[in-house]
Amino acid sequence: MAPKIRHAAPAFTADAVVDGEFKTVSLADYKG
């Protein structure tokens, strides 16, 4: 049985290392 997606992921921001630098990323950066 496959899982069912009922709701969109909540909006979030997080600090991440991107190309050796700390940056703030968010769900909106990857939403397609």
Residues 20-30 have pLDDT tens digits of 999 999 999 88
CA distance 10 to 29: 13
Q: Is the pLDDT of residue 16 over 90?
A: yes
Query: What pLDDT sits at residue 30?
Result: 85
Helix (H) or strand (E) holding 22: strand 21-26
Strand partners, 16: 23
Nearest one of 21, 3, 18, 20 to 29, comparing CA atoms: 18
Return mean pLDDT, the chain: 91
**Residues found in the chain:** 32
Give percent of the chain with pLDDT exceeding 90. Answer: 62
Contact 11, 26 (CB under 8 A): yes
